[in-house]
Structure 1
Amino acid sequence: MEAVKNPIEAALAVKSQEGLVEFLADLAESARLDRVPVENPQTSEFIEASSAWLEGLDGFMRQHTGEGAPESPTWATVALIFSAGLVYE
């Protein structure tokens, strides 16, 4: 497993289901080892934060990619949701 140093960059690089599986495993390991910040350690907090972050997806995507939220989510979009769920308040 590879440590996730920048969850946003790592999430945007996900291109496939297999890539998402690897990203999630690496993200979980990095969170467990305190290599990435975690503000929401409980499942309910994680889900709530993911939902709140998803409401602002369009602005986030414009800031980081120059384009709005995709009509059809990609594997990278799913990876971003998991990444955001760890830290979004």
Structure 2
Amino acid sequence: MNWPDPTLNAIQSREDLADFLTELARKVREGELSVENATTDSSVDSAGRWTRSMDGFFMNVIKEPVPETPDWSMIAAIFRAALVYE
């Protein structure tokens, strides 16, 4: 899969995902990344809603169907999307 964000493309392992999530949290905490869903419950809800509707993102942006089995980079993409998906 080829994500539009090279940061997501670099995530190949569990350790890469852990590093990404730690850095994502730091960016939010320090105001480097604006978020729509600042509370835990709204972020988790948004992650679920984005996951349910990611077919459109894959069709329009990735130009591939949603993979049946997620990889580490897709998990990272779900976390990233959860911060801004309304």
TM category, shorter? 0.7 to 0.9
Q: Report the TM-score when normalising by structure 2.
A: 0.86
Conservation of the 8 A alpha-carbon contact between 1:59 and 1:68: no
Superposition deviation, residue 62 in structure 1: 2.4
Q: Report the TM-score when normalising by structure 1.
A: 0.83
Amino acid aligned to 1:71: E
* Deviation by residue 1:2-53 (Cα, 9 ceiling, x = unmatched): xxxxxx6123431111110111011001111111111111111011111111
Change (3 A) 1:15 1:64: farther
Q: Percent identity?
A: 37
Superposition deviation, residue 72 in structure 1: 0.4
Q: Secondary structure at the match of 1:56?
A: helix
Aligned residues: 82
Q: Which structure 2 residue ranges, 5 or more long, are not aligned?
A: none
| CA RMSD in angstroms, aligned pairs only | 1.3
* Deviation by residue 1:66-88 (Cα, 9 ceiling, x = unmatched): 11110100101100111111111
Give the 5 Å matches for 1:53-72.
53-72=50-69
Deviation >6 Å, runs of 4+: none
Structure 1 range deviating more: 70-79 or 51-60? 51-60
Q: Which residue of 2 aligns with 1:87?
A: 84
